[in-house]
Structure 1
């Protein structure tokens, strides 16, 4: 408080009102003196009601609030940086996992392609073998048919030749021989 009073007195002494001419300074007719008294009274009332300490207290509270806000902001920034680092780490892990999945899928695709190629080659080989079997079967059937036809033609030709050359006596003997031969095969 002493300090404020000293500052106020120094301010009054250095004022331009002291340089004014014509009227004494310490007179109620001098407006500068009245303004100075009003100013001193105003300062005195402010000091009496402890306004400077209230203002200082409010400023201290405000400074403390700002400090707390700054500390909270710093804590939030640190937390955000930690979260960012966590998310970046997770992103790297996910990217690595995705790269592994893609590489694995490529390997499986290559293996599946090779397996499909091998299966196709086996299928083609089976079809070729089946076609060759069908050709062989058709060839054997054709040969059998030709033989059967040749046998039928030979039998017909033999029957015609035998029928022309055979007598009744030879026919009876041939029938008896055939019956005897069938009897031997059945027993």
Structure 2
């Protein structure tokens, strides 16, 4: 260390300090300003990017909330439409059942009317046949009874006795 103290020169020290200060001034003028400006620009760019990211995050939250609200409304509309469709289905089924019952009752009534008409026609036909048979039988009996002249006279006398004049 003693050797360094002996070698120390004030002139050399002065020039070294002067060169160092000149170097600092040159660095400040040509290097530090552009470096600091680049750092400031970089910092500003990062700050802007962070602000934009925060805005984008808030916008995404708003969009997510809107999407959830829209989905909720869509679900409510779907449920409402399904409920309405079920009610319409039940109404249509009940109307169809009612109409089918009315049609069935109508068919049954028509069948009863038709059966009754056919029954009356059959009864009338049977009565006509019975009347024709009765007339035929009576005709044959009367022919047998009236074939003999004595029997005819006897029959007329009996009928005259039954008839009373008023």
Relative to the length of structure 2, the TM-score reads 0.68
Deviation at 1:53, TM superposition (A): 3.0
Counterpart of 1:70 in structure 2 is: 43
Task: List per-residue Cα deviations over 1:70-125 (Å, max 9, x = no partner).
Answer: 11111121122112212211221121111111112112211221221122111111
Deviation at 1:151, TM superposition (A): 1.6
Q: 2:54 aligns with which of 67, 71, 81?
A: 81
Q: How many equivalent residue pairs?
A: 136
Moved more, 50-59 or 131-140: 50-59
1:123 correspondence with 2:96: yes
Relative to the length of structure 1, the TM-score reads 0.61
What are the ranges of 5 or more consecutive residues in structure 2 without an aligned counterpart? 141-166
**Counterparts of 1:17 and 1:60, CA distance in 2:** 42
Deviation at 1:166, TM superposition (A): 5.2
Counterpart of 1:99 in structure 2 is: 72
Q: Whose relative contact order is higher, 1 or 2, with alpha carbons under 8 Å and at least 6 apart?
A: 1
1:47 correspondence with 2:19: yes
1:18–1:159 Cα change, 3 Å = same
**Counterparts of 2:80 and 2:133, CA distance in 1:** 78
